[in-house]
Structure 1
Amino acid sequence: MDKRATIKDVAEAAGVGIATVSRVLSGGSASPQTRERVLAVAAQLDYRPSAVGRNLRQRRTGGLGLLVPDLTDTFFGQLAEGALAYARSAGEPVVLGSTGDDPEQESEMIGMLLEQSVDRVVAVPSGDAETWQPALRAGMTVVFADRLPVEGADPAGEGPDRDLMLLDGLPPARPSRPLDVPAVLADDRSGIRTAVRYLRGLGHRRIAYLGGPGHDRRAEAFREAVGAPADEELIVFATGSRDSAYAAASGLFQSRPDLSAVVAGGNVLGEAAVLAARELDLRVPRDVSLVMYDDVPWAELCSPPLTVIAQPGRDIGYRAAELVLRTGARRPRTVVLPTELIVRGSCGPYPGRPGAGVRA
């Protein structure tokens, strides 16, 4: 008996990505040429995705999909542990995937979950709303955790799909529509505001923010907290890798010797800030004060221990799995969990660094 064709087989034969195949087969955006090519290949391979859609709409198949950007990140590990704990108590198997904070890879994993008839998913999203439309159209129940899909991203990503869409005459980017999907989030706004107020109380005025993927809400909260007009040179973003985080932190310290405090938007970024400060012979907190978003075990082991904005990572995962697995006739609402500023030894009073500019 021949092996049944998969969505990956269709993508390879059509010369597009799995994300494009998912969009075409679920009625999403694609150029006429791309749509015709994908549908022709799907027919030739006798690929029948509609069975999956009917299966998901008509009955629960059981199981939970869990997608996170990086399992080596302590926070995402805590989130995953919380989701696994609830799934275990509910007797549900879990399909766990790491997206690498790559929207294209996330799209591929969504397609594979659809192939496996996994009908409920908890995800820390990396892509935009368009990335998740195929899953929602197929009847998948989704709850986002920690963050929401980015707005206005290129639905074809930065890979071959994007090039094909450009060749087909489609615009490379357009605003994505917000998704009506519940989420479990930490109160980023309150956490960032509390941290900035604390640093302001110590006399700091030139405060920087070091962000990463999915930190749009935190960056906006930072801008609100420091007040208009925000110094955009003090708001720096890295990609998801540790090398990128270190380069961003090091570049920030070297390009702005007048800054006296940094709010790092996550534990990988906080680690990078500590390492970069050490390499540049900047003393914490005498030369630069540091607040890190996320309370992870190593934060207390630093010298000095780091002041942190603690968010309940395990609770976020647990509540997200609870919402997605207990969804009934009533659609769950988004849940916002509190954060807490834990003051340790990494923040000191201004003035900080030798040679810093005149206090604003």
Structure 2
Amino acid sequence: MTATIYDVARHAGVSVATVSRVLNGLKVREDLVERVQATVSRLNYTPSRTAQRMRKSTSHLWALIVPDFENTFFTRLARGVEEICQPRDTCVFIGSSDDDPEKERRYLEVALAERVGGVVIAPSSDTTDLQRIVGAGIPVVVVDRAVPNGAFDTILTDNTAGGQLAAQHLLAEGSKAVACVVGPENPTSQARLDGFLSSAKANPPIEVVRIERGNNRLDGGYRAMQRIIQSGVAFDAIFVTNNLMAVGVIKALGDMLPERKNDIAIAGFDLNEIPLLSGAYIASINQDPHEIGRIAGERILLQQTGAPPVCSIALRPTLVAAAAEFGCP
């Protein structure tokens, strides 16, 4: 049978309160600490997380809810959150909403039922409702995608600046006609497109010959590129707002325009995360998801101490223009 705190107290010859104080790092006589710790080890006792949450005001379990955990951006973001959690004996459960508001709502319900110590979330849509979580006193940090008119800590990339970097690079490379493959209509995708369009108006400008929407996944990028090619528009460069869609774009180019695929300039986000890309003119606008996750974790800790959720941080992306620098042949 699993040992209980009462078993530890009985075998150590101390009260349950003394065992609890030792386990929670409170001041206890040194000889009693040694007895309790030796008994815990001998009985292989593991404290109940449920009981600990009932005794403490802050749970040692956090929730991270993201749209697509297959995207390495969110894997690295999770690592950043864990960097803050692990030294504090805190664990993170991760849910992938798949951009489905109903699936996201269920994960939020679980977080509420478990009375987690904090929620880090990349919202599935502009209408993501976090009020019940906040009303329960659970700290919330929004990452990657801002919630319109939401009074939440928000940590993301300066997506407008990222789009501008992409346009400036393609202008410098001499591109004349660009097709855009853009993610769903959310603040992140729109900011990247707006930034690109604003800088594309330079003198001389880049002509944006077509804009197609995708689902931020490989198949969405492939289908969007198919539609662009089938439309018959002439283009010498492509701007893509998501890394997985960029893979689909490149695959569609290889299938439908194999003779041109290595001559078309491509600028996209986080292409350094994709090791199998090909093409001589690929540029990556790189974010720092690990840092986003780390800052989000720090903000959860600050909220737990009573700091108001008023922080809004937009990290500046960087551009890597040489394909060989991020693993491309």
Of 265, 277, 282, the residue aligned with 2:253 is: 277
Amino acid at match of 2:191: R
Query: TM-score, with normalisation over the residues of structure 2?
Result: 0.72
Give the aligned partner of residue 121 of structure 1: 119
Shift of 1:264: 1.0
Question: Does 1:343 find its partner at 2:317?
Answer: no
Structure 1 or 2: more strand by fraction = 2
Of 182, 193, 200, the residue aligned with 1:226 is: 200
Shift of 1:244: 2.3
Quick one: distance in 1 between partners of 2:262 and 2:81?
Answer: 36
Quick one: distance in 1 between partners of 2:113 and 2:101?
Answer: 18
Give the aligned partner of residue 107 of structure 2: 109
Quick one: distance in 1 between partners of 2:73 and 2:154?
Answer: 17
Give the aligned partner of residue 351 of structure 1: none
Q: Runs of 5+ in structure 1 lacking a partner?
A: 1-54, 152-177, 347-360
Question: SS at the partner of 2:297?
Answer: helix
- Cα 1:230/1:136, change in 2 over 3 Å: farther
Contact 1:106 1:127 in 2 (8 A): no
Quick one: distance in 2 between partners of 1:132 and 1:256?
Answer: 45
Of 89, 92, 111, the residue aligned with 1:91 is: 89
Of 278, 284, 287, the residue aligned with 1:311 is: 287
Quick one: distance in 1 between partners of 2:240 and 2:250?
Answer: 10
Contact 2:120 2:141 in 1 (8 A): yes
Shift of 1:200: 1.4
Shift of 1:274: 0.7
Aligned ranges 1:228-267 → 2 under 5 Å = 234-267=210-243
Give the aligned partner of residue 294 of structure 1: 270
Question: Does 1:67 find its partner at 2:65?
Answer: yes
- Residues 243-280 of structure 1: CA distance to partner in whole angstroms, max 9, x if unpaired? 22211122123225312211111110110111011011
Amino acid at match of 1:226: A
Contact 1:129 1:179 in 2 (8 A): no
Contact 1:299 1:306 in 2 (8 A): no
Shift of 1:65: 0.7
Comparing 69-78 and 330-339, the one that deviates more: 330-339
Contact 1:192 1:218 in 2 (8 A): yes
Contact 2:243 2:274 in 1 (8 A): no
Amino acid at match of 1:122: V
Quick one: distance in 2 between partners of 1:334 and 1:256?
Answer: 43
Give the aligned partner of residue 358 of structure 1: none
Give the aligned partner of residue 19 of structure 1: none
Contact 2:163 2:194 in 1 (8 A): no
Identical-residue share of aligned pairs (%): 25
Question: Which is higher, the Rg of structure 1 or of structure 2?
Answer: 2
Quick one: distance in 2 between partners of 1:335 and 1:318?
Answer: 12
Task: Kindly tell me the number of residue pairs found equivalent between the two proteins.
Answer: 263
Shift of 1:79: 1.1
Give the aligned partner of residue 212 of structure 1: 183
Shift of 1:78: 1.2
Of 161, 167, 174, the residue aligned with 1:203 is: 174
Quick one: distance in 2 between partners of 1:255 and 1:264?
Answer: 18
- Residues 150-185 of structure 1: CA distance to partner in whole angstroms, max 9, x if unpaired? x5xxxxxxxxxxxxxxxxxxxxxxxxxx11111111
